[in-house]
Structures are given as structure tokens and as C-alpha cells.
Amino acid sequence: MISARAHHAIRQLTRRRGRSILTIITIAVAIAGVWMFAIPGNVRAVLADRVETDAMHTARLAPNAAPLDAGQLARLRAVDNVAALDTRTLARDDMRVEGRVEGVILVGVDDFDQQSVNIVSLGQGGFPEGSGQLVSDDSNATTGRLGAAVGDTIELRTHTGRWEAFEVAGRGGTVRYSSEVANDAPVLYLSSADVQRIMGYPAANSIDVLAEDPSPAAVDTMVTELRTVLTDELPDISYWDVLEVWRPGTWPGSEDIGNFVVVFYTIAAVALVAALVIIFTTMNTIVREQTREIGVMKAVGGTPRAIAVGYLSAALVLGTVGTAIGIGIGIPLSNRLMQFMSSEFGGTSVGWVISGLAVVLSLALGLGGTALASIPAVRHAAHITVRQAIEDHGVLASYGTRPLDRAAARFPLTSRRSQMGIRNATRRVGRTVATAVPIGLAVATLLGFAGVLLTVVEEDLRTFDLEGADLILWNRSPGLDARAGELINAVPEVAFAHPMTYSSVELDGEKYVWGLPAVSTYDNELIAGRWYSEEEDQAAARVVVVGEATANQNGIGVGDVITVETRGGPLGLEVVGIDGQLVNDGQGLFIPFSTVLDYEGRTTGNWWVRTVDRDPATVDAAATAIHETLESQGYQLESSRRYIDRDQNVRENRLIVTVVMAMGLPIVAIGMIGLVSATASNVLDRTREIGILRSIGARRRDLRVMFRAEGLVIGVLGWLMGIPAGYAMARLILYVFERRFDAAFRFQFPLWTIAIALAVTLVMTLVVMRFPLRRAVRLSPGSALRYE
Amino acid sequence: MPASPIISLGGVEKIYRTGRVEFPALRGVDLDVAPGELVAIVGPSGSGKSTVLNVISGIDRPTAGDVVVAGHDLLELDEEQLAAWRGEQVGIVFQFFQLLPTLTARENVMLPLDFASIGSVRERSDRASERLARVGLGDRLDHFPAELSGGEQQRVAIARALACDPPILVADEPTGNLDTDTADEMFAVLDTVNGDGTTVVYVTHDRRLADRAHRIVSIRDGRVVGDDRR
């Protein structure tokens, strides 16, 4: 049994079913948003767990060939701090499935039954038994790259050009290599012997090591000792890739997740604030509408406490139902997103997780937040006197006495109906502002995310502009030599061409290296020191120009000598300059072309070409001419036209922008639900007024214009609130990004996004107002006038 | 030969439904009103007198019977047509004034002219000012309702009802919320309006005010039980 007063308050909820449902939906969306908080933590926990169970390597050395016998392996395993060590054979190959040929990554495992590092575990089927069988990575199917089922056949290209058939024996994976699927290509696990045979490799080419003590200093010492042992055992050893080290708490994709965390948290927090504002407005409206009834209850002996408890119960009913639905939506939604994130960033599929923290947060915010947001309304109900309550007419009877009313009255508009709409918006300033706040938050989210993305995308595109090349040319092995350069420079459309080469080194994480001549198409912006000279380039001097972010992160200054880890081992470089451009997020290194060739053990590189007028037609003509010339001389030329790559990049960035904007949609939904709810309340509040207007000749169109004008005022107010809030949000998120990357972005907050936000706000406002307006225009004047 | 009626109700019935409860407000009302008449409708609370006004002004549709007002069969008009028709043919005065609180006195009077798209904005403003002057409020044009007394508000309501020069004015307890002196002033305004040729039908509890009409129609339990012409 519950008391009559609680009954009364709760029955008000069923009396205004539409509004109660809208409030419940709002709470539910916000609570579902709370589950966003759970995602990064859960993904991290699941992947950290996976890193441990799969014994992901702490360090990987990448020798071109490591023909190690059992004794040599034992010596390596005996090095201090080595917990486990296995060799793998890694290769890039082509596969043919149902006539389709595409790239694939092959991971050769010495013995599937005796794995100690990067352990491949099975989801279905079995491990290969002998030659001719393989395991397909689980992520191949979850990412849609390769839906190989157990028993299917996949053909792999051998180094002699033949196709060899393999049967899929099982499906499984290991976190380090599964992560390659989403970023790069499908991954297949075979016996090392099979990989070496089909690729023509003499031995394993990856030494995966799990350290007992993963601290950077201990790992560095361990790696140095391993290199020494390797050089002792294999004096001619050379490396095809730099040392790969995973610091504690990191794994493939952990950084991407970190970048998304701030977006998730922002969305969740904004959704929550918006929902609380709407609950506040709704409860306020409920109490205001029932002011007279509250008076009656007090007149028959209702104490302020009893009345407050009644309304609080009603609020809690809304909160409970909304929370339950929110949790119901939040669990599958967060799990779907978690699966997406862990598979996209960590190459791992996760099972369903129900976060205890998210449940507690949902209950605390859904019930506690609702109660909190209801307090002002409940206090009003408790403290209003019987006389005030009984005499309440539900509308502000003193309109015209405030300066705001006078200001609104002077607003220049020819249509009386529009004027009435605007004045009605100023009639209840509190409600108008409360309705505008969630819209403002929605606008802020859209503008904020747009600002962040445009800034990041712009930086991305600037890389193309700074690079300054219109064509990038490379030759399948061995490379484009000086003679090729002469032929390229002889093409009339070519204004300037120079060789260059890419490389990567380890310097507190992998850093991209551009090996450029002293004069190149690259548009540097030195903030300290100088660029290296032509003499230094010719002499393959050990000098480097460091990107600003890398310099800041590592405390590098001009004149310092830094040691980077190349695939051939450590290399000392003198820092001659710091470059302020944000190429490669300011993380890049610029080393003379000849120096890079030298430490990479190469003789040739790519060529960057600047055409005479940089027009796409000229670039196409130059590409055609260069291809014809070089191919006639026996070169197997490949080229990339940068205007096409740039367009492709723009398209990809647009997709990312769209996805992130879509993540902000729940907040927009909450804002619009708030508007529907407020308009519905307005229509109810002014039902008698609608009756009067109908009585003196107002047609449906007139009512629509009136209410729409009011809605548009609220929309514009929300938009105005959203501009500074969105600016602040973008600044805050970018500040977090800048701290993460130690980079300085050129902040973008263009006016056109603000204009688009206005257009979207106005259109959405008009669309969502259709529903509550229907009731207003369909009311017959008689029922409207009799409405209590 | 008597003029043909401007208002003609024939066998009008009206049943209100609230949830599962039915309430018969009118049970077969026949009433003809000639142009230029000043008619008072009297009766106890709940007798159906306000419903008669609502049916005449097209605010409520009868459950049965015929309603012809100002030459229009109201049953043939839909809600949109009725709204437009009402704006031009019937002025309505409510008991609680029912002015729009966000509009000044002049704007309240201009509103029916706006809805009917009569004249230019300037002409509407002039006409509204003239109507307000006619009811003695020429100096209160730009006051909001909250700045006017009860009597002044009701005069604005009458000016609004007369804005489009309707041939019929209906008033539901127009003096119900006013003191005796103000009520008398109000009635004097209605009398003047009627003297100018407008047919006036008003509902009142006040026998004293009813006695000032040309004709008193008594309603009880949804039926006309008396029709006293003077």
C-alpha cells in the first residue's frame, strides 16, 4: 500500500503519459551514455588480460635470418631477465581465395604445441598437423577481411610464383598479430617450416622475447646482451626491422584507445548534464502545473514534507524506469562498441562484459541524479502557501512589467503571430533557458567535435602540402638509381625531382625518418639550429633534424647527440636543427638521404617529383611520360599521384568525422527530446489560450507560426549557448591531445561549422516540434476553453 | 413582417463526454434571434446557457439539431472554415477577459484583424486604436493586460470582439468578475454596441442586468423554459 499523496503524484505521471515517456527516454539515453564510461576501462582490462595470457613479447628483434640451433637458442634464453624466447618466421605474401588475390601476413610458428611467447590460441578446429595446414586469425572473419572457415582452402603464392593450397585447420590468434588484421592485412599462422619453404627464407626472422622485469632499463640491458649473444653466434647478422618494445600497460592499439577515451568521456558527461537539466525542467513543469492541486492538498492538511515525499516518489518512478531501460540499452550498446574497439584497435574479440562500476554509476546517477534534479521543484511544492497555490493561474500574470518583456515587445516583426511566439519565449525565462541548455549542449558537442576533427584533419592534409611532391616514384627491387633520376629530370613537365627514402628508428617508440637531400621539396620550418648541408649529405654525416614534438618529449636540443635504434643497431646522430612543422605529428626525424642509405644498407631510394604547375592534368602527363621513359629502359616503375592520395585521405577523414559526429547524436537526441517535452508542456499550459485564439479567428496555420516562432527562439538561444561551449570543448579536447602528443595544433573553428550548426538546429527544431504541435492545432476551441 | 433570424437554432442537443460519463448539456433547444436584438440568456449553473453561446459561435458543435448563424449552416463548415468565419462574423467576450498577456491592449485588439488579414498593418493599428477609444481606453493603447484593471481588461475584450465589425456579439458572463459600478459601465458599452446595430447575446446570472435586455431567454436543464420579449 502506498499513501494517497504518493498515489496522486505518481498518477500525474500517467495523466501526462507523453511527457513521462519522453522523460523516461531522456533518462534512459543518458544512462546508456554512462556505459560509455565503462568501455575504455573494460577494453583495457580485456586486452591487458589477453596480453598476459598470450604472453605477448616485451621485445622483438628482427634479424633477416636467424638460423639458430637448440644450443644457440638456449644461450639466448639464458640471458638475464629473459622469461621466455621463441623464434617466428614473418612474411608478407599473396593469397588466392575463390579467385581473388590479395596481400596476407604469414606468421610461422616453430612448434604449435610448444609456444611460450606470442602464444597462438585456438578458438575453433585444431593446430596444423604437418605441412599444408594453417590457422586463420579470428579477426580475419570479425573484420570481414577473410571469412575462412575450418576446412576451407586458401592458396598461397610461393617464391617461385606457383600457388600452393593450404587447408584451414583452425581459427585462433594472438594479440600482437591479430592487431595487424584491422590495420594491415589478414593474418595466417603456419608452421615456420612451411613459411620458410614457400617464401624461400633460410631461417626464422623474428626473435620474440618476454621479459621478467619489463621496466625500460631492464629491457634495454636485456636487449643489449641478446644482441651481443646473437653477434657472437651469427657474426653476419643483419636486421630487417627496428627493435619493437612494448612498455608495461601498452599493446598494439592502446594509444588509439587512449585517444578515443576523451571522446567517450566527453559524450557521456555531456549526455548526463543534458539529461539532468531535462529532468529538472520536467519535474518543475509537473509541480507548476499542479500548483492549485498542491494548494488543495495543503488546505486539507498536507504537510510540506508529505507533499515533497509524494513528488519525490514520482521523480523516482521516472528515474527507476529510465535507469532500467538505460541499463538495458547500455549493456548491449557498450558491448557492441567494446567489441568494435577491441577488434579494431587490439585485434581481439571480447566476450560480453557487464561492468559492475557502470551498474553502480547508472543507479547512482539515474536515481540520485533524478532526485537531485527534482529538488528545486519539490522545494517549491513544499514551500508554496495555500493562498498562492489556490490563486495560481498557471501563467505569468504580470507580463509586461519586466524590462525583458518591454524589449521583446519592441522586437521588429510584422507578423503578430511571430511576435507572440517570441514574447511567449520570454514569458517563462527559466523554462526557455532550461530547454535551450540541452540544445546548447548538443550544438556544443557537434561544434566541439567538428573543431577537433577539422583541426586534426587539417594537420593531416598539411603533411601532403609540406611534403611538396606531386608524384612519388619507386621501383620494384633494387630501386631508382642516378640514371633513372636523369631520365626523370629530363621530362618537360618535371620542375624539380630528388631522391628520398623512408626509414624508421626506435627512439622512445618508433619514429618515422625521411631521408632527404639538403635541398628538397619539403617545406621545413626550423625553430632552432639549421638544416643539414649538401656536404653533410654527400658525406653521409651522422646528423639529424628532429621534429618539435619528439624534441620536446625527449628533451632534445640543438648540439645534442642522440642514439637511435636502427634495424642495424644503435646509431649516434648529432642534432643540428629542430623542425616546427607538424609532419608525422611533429614526431619525425630528418636525416640526410645518403646517411639513411648507409645505415639501412641500401643503394637507391624513391624519387619525389614536383611538376611545373602542380595541376592534376600536368601531374598525370608527367606520370605517363616518366612511366613510358623509365619502363622503356627496363625499370619496373610504381608511382603514386599525391593529388589522388590527398583526395583519398580527405574521403577517409570525412568518414572518421562522420563516425565521431554520429557518436554525438545521443546528445542531440536528448536536446531534441527536451524541446519536444517543453513544447508539449507549453501546449498544455496554454491550452485555454489556444481556445481563445481559435475563438477569435486563429487558424491552424496561425497557431503553428506562433509556436514555431517560440521554438525557433529557444533553438537560436541553444545555438548561441552552444558556440562558446563548443569552442571550449574543442579547445579542451585538443589540449588533452596536445599533451598526449606533445604537439601544437593549428586550431580550426571555422564560421561555416557555426552556420551549419544553426541550420541543423533550426531544421531539427521545426521537425521535432511537429509532434506536440499536432495536439495544439487539432484541439477544438470548445475543449481547449474547458481545459483545466 | 419580422426580419429573418440572424441566429437560428433548431432542436439543438449537446452531450459532453468525460471519460465514461455523459452529460447532456442541451436537450432540444429552439431559438431564433433577429438582427439587432439584445438578448439575455439566464438560468442556474449547469443549465446549459454557456453551451448555447458556444453553439452559436461555433466553439462547440451540437450532437444533434440545426445551427444557422449569419446565413451559414455551421454544421457544413470544418474547424478551419469555422475559425475564419468566427473571426469575421462573431465577436466573443469571455467572463475572465481572456486577453493574451504578452500582447498590449492595442495588439490584443489587432489580433482578430491579423487573423482575418483585414487591411494593412497600419490600418489595423488605427482601427484597433479607434475601437479602444470607443470603449474609453484611448489612453491605454500600449499597456499590457497586467497593467490594466479588471474593468479595463474587459473593455479591451469587448474592443477585441468588435475589431472585425461582426454582426453578432456573444458575451459569457461579461460582468461576472466585475464590481457593480464597473458592471454597469460595461453594460452601457454593450448597449451602445447594440444601438449601433450589432446583435448582442449575453449570458448572465445577474437578474438586474438581464432585465436591461430586449428579450430574456430562460434555460433550465438544457431546455428553453421561458422567452420573455419586452
Residue A669 pLDDT > 70: yes
Other beta carbons within 10 angstroms of residue A179's beta carbon come to 28
Mean pLDDT for the stretch of residues A261-284: 76
User: Chain B residue with minimal CA distance to A692?
Assistant: B98
pLDDT tens, A456-490?
A: 777 777 777 788 889 888 876 567 888 899 999 99
Confidence grade of residue A661 (pLDDT, cut at 50, 70, 90): low
Report the pLDDT value the prediction gives residue A397, as an integer from 0 to 100.
56
Helix axes A665-685, A254-289, angle to 10 degrees: 10
pLDDT tens, A205-224?
A: 999 999 999 998 999 899 99
Report the pLDDT value the prediction gives residue A514, as an integer from 0 to 100.
92
Q: Residues A695, A625: one domain?
A: no
Cβ pairs A/B, distance under 8 A: 104
Report the pLDDT value the prediction gives residue A668, as an integer from 0 to 100.
76
> How many whole angstroms separate alpha carbon A385 and alpha carbon A391?
10
**Partner A contacted by B93 (CB < 8 A):** no
Q: Residues A285, A204: one domain?
A: no
What residue spans of A171-243 are helical by DSSP H? 175-183, 192-199, 216-233
Contact A419 B57 (CB under 8 A): no
The closest CB to that of A400, out of B83, B147, B160, belongs to B147
Q: What's the gap between Cα A640 and its chain centre? A: 28
**Partner A contacted by B108 (CB < 8 A):** no
Q: What are φ and ψ of residue A272, in 5° steps?
A: -65, -45
Q: Residues A286, A151: one domain?
A: no
Computed over every residue of chain A, the mean pLDDT equals 83
Torsion of CA A770, A775, A776, A780, to 10 degrees: 140
Contact A401 B146 (CB under 8 A): yes
Report the pLDDT value the prediction gives residue B1, as an integer from 0 to 100.
41
Residue A318 pLDDT > 60: yes
Q: Range with the lowest mean pLDDT among A237-246, A528-537, A734-743?
A: A734-743
CATH number of the domain at B35-61+74-229, out of 3.40.30.10, 3.40.50.150, 3.40.50.180, 3.40.50.300?
A: 3.40.50.300
Distance from CA of A432 to the nearest CA of B (A): 15
Report the pLDDT value the prediction gives residue A395, as an integer from 0 to 100.
43
The arrangement of strands across the sheet holding B21-33 comes to B21-33, B7-18, B64-69, B72-73
Cell of B173: 458572463
Report the pLDDT value the prediction gives residue A654, as an integer from 0 to 100.
66
pLDDT tens, A607-623?
A: 999 999 888 899 999 99
Domain boundary among A212, A245, A278: A245
Q: Residues A498, A606: one domain?
A: yes
| Structural domain contains residue A603 | yes
Residue B13 pLDDT > 90: yes
Domain boundary among A378, A394, A410: A394
Higher pLDDT, A144 or A375: A375
| Structural domain contains residue A641 | no
Mean pLDDT for the stretch of residues A638-662: 73
Cell of A222: 636485456
Distance from CA of A372 to the nearest CA of B (A): 33
Burial class (CB in 10 A: 0-12, 13-18, 19+), A223: buried
Q: Residues A693, A777: one domain?
A: yes
Report the pLDDT value the prediction gives residue A737, as an integer from 0 to 100.
74
Q: Range with the lowest mean pLDDT among A166-180, A448-462, A486-500, A566-580?
A: A448-462
**Partner A contacted by B139 (CB < 8 A):** no
Confidence grade of residue A394 (pLDDT, cut at 50, 70, 90): very low
**Partner B contacted by A781 (CB < 8 A):** yes
Report the pLDDT value the prediction gives residue A54, as an integer from 0 to 100.
92
Contact B94 A398 (CB under 8 A): no
Report the pLDDT value the prediction gives residue A387, as an integer from 0 to 100.
66
Report the pLDDT value the prediction gives residue A667, as an integer from 0 to 100.
74
> How many whole angstroms separate alpha carbon A255 and alpha carbon A40?
11
Q: Residues A782, A687: one domain?
A: yes
Cell of A363: 543507479
> How many whole angstroms separate alpha carbon A241 and alpha carbon A600?
10
Cβ within 8 Å of B, A 408-467: 408-409, 414-417, 419-420, 423-424, 426-427
Contact A697 B104 (CB under 8 A): no
Residue A393 pLDDT > 60: no
Q: Residues A625, A698: one domain?
A: no
> How many whole angstroms separate alpha carbon A525 and alpha carbon A522?
10
Confidence grade of residue A592 (pLDDT, cut at 50, 70, 90): very high
Q: Name the nearest CA neighbour of A18 among A365, A312, A286.
A: A286
End-to-end CA distance of chain A: 29
Residue A3 pLDDT > 60: no
Q: What is the CA radius of gyration of chain A?
A: 34
Q: What's the domain range around A69?
A: 57-245
Contact B164 A697 (CB under 8 A): yes
| Structural domain contains residue A645 | no
Confidence grade of residue A366 (pLDDT, cut at 50, 70, 90): confident
Can you say whether residue A34 is alpha, beta or left, with left for phi > 0 and alpha for psi between -120 and 50 degrees? alpha
Of all residues in chain B, the percent with pLDDT exceeding 90 is: 42
Cβ within 8 Å of A, B 163-202: 164
Domain boundary among A211, A245, A279: A245
Residue B176 to residues B93, B131, B151, B154, B203, Cα–Cα distance (Å): 11, 22, 11, 10, 10
Q: Residues A735, A626: one domain?
A: no
Report the pLDDT value the prediction gives residue A23, as an integer from 0 to 100.
79
Q: Report which listed range, A267-276, A507-516, B67-76, is most confident.
A: B67-76
Report the pLDDT value the prediction gives residue A573, as an integer from 0 to 100.
95
Residue A77 pLDDT > 90: yes
pLDDT tens, A423-456?
A: 877 777 877 888 888 888 888 888 888 888 888 7
The answer to whether A472 touches A640, Cβ cutoff 8 Å, is yes
Computed over every residue of chain B, the mean pLDDT equals 88
Distance from CA of A293 to the nearest CA of B (A): 20
| Structural domain contains residue A347 | yes
What three-state secondary structure class fits A207? strand
Higher pLDDT, A655 or A781: A781
Report the pLDDT value the prediction gives residue B12, as an integer from 0 to 100.
94
With residue A259 as reference, give the H or E element that holds it: helix A254-289
Q: Which residues make Cβ contacts (< 8 Å) with residue A322, sequence separation at least 6?
A: A23, A24, A25, A26, A27, A28, A30, A31, A366, A370
Higher pLDDT, A11 or B129: B129
Domain count, chain A: 4
Mean pLDDT for the stretch of residues B165-177: 88
- Identify the DSSP state of A36: G
**Partner A contacted by B112 (CB < 8 A):** yes
Q: Residues A667, A604: one domain?
A: no
Q: Residues A389, A405: one domain?
A: no
Contact B103 A695 (CB under 8 A): no
pLDDT tens, B47-62?
A: 998 899 999 998 888 9
Report the pLDDT value the prediction gives residue A132, as an integer from 0 to 100.
92
The answer to whether B59 touches B68, Cβ cutoff 8 Å, is no
Q: Range with the lowest mean pLDDT among A130-139, A371-380, B118-127, B159-168?
A: A371-380
| Mutation for A interface: B94, B96, B102, most A CBs within 10 A | B102
| Structural domain contains residue A385 | yes
Residue B89 pLDDT > 50: yes
Q: Where are the domains of chain B?
A: 35-61+74-229
Report the pLDDT value the prediction gives residue A626, as an integer from 0 to 100.
92
**Partner B contacted by A689 (CB < 8 A):** yes
- Identify the DSSP state of A585: G
pLDDT tens, A396-416?
A: 456 777 777 777 777 666 577
Distance from CA of A428 to the nearest CA of B (A): 11
The pTM score is: 0.68
Q: Residues A292, A386: one domain?
A: yes
Q: Residues A460, A594: one domain?
A: no
Contact B101 A427 (CB under 8 A): yes
Contact B121 A414 (CB under 8 A): yes
Q: Range with the lowest mean pLDDT among A4-18, A465-479, A494-508?
A: A4-18
